[in-house]
Structure 1
């Protein structure tokens, strides 16, 4: 589980690095920048959801393998709270999209 979470988180950081590599003074909010930021936010969301769901799925699988007719699922508040900042990243990505649209409009007017 930890390896899968690390892999998804590393992929998110690679997308963030790509985004930062595409930022230029003349085009702060290009479509490439916002696309990579959306991927970054999406991968972080996947990692946060996996962090919540994988332990529960493992508990259910172990209960089924042992022949138990019930399983106890526990969710940590920290795990659920980790989804909140990722949701904020999606709103920031939306703001980047709007900024890119305004930047394109401004260039077309001039």
Structure 2
């Protein structure tokens, strides 16, 4: 799974436009659940379910709370699964590797 970082709303939108399947990880530095989610995501880096998926890391402190809220997001961590520019799943809070795999395989 390729990992990209978006520091601006423009970079966020460009990634969603440029890649067919994007798993967006909205996180922040002082978030214990975010650190735990990083471990789940790392364990899936080479899993078959993540083949062709781009992981887009978006840090709340960098992108800004106004943009974060404009997407209807309320907490970190939150994962968005975007296929062909359309959100198909939203997973709020810590997710186990199996929960992430299930979301990727369902959609």
Higher strand proportion (structure 1 or 2): 2
Higher helix proportion (structure 1 or 2): 1
Structure with bigger RCO (C-alpha 8 Å, 6+ apart): 2
Rg (Cα) greater in structure: 1
Name the TM-score, length of structure 2 as normaliser: 0.28
Name the TM-score, length of structure 1 as normaliser: 0.28
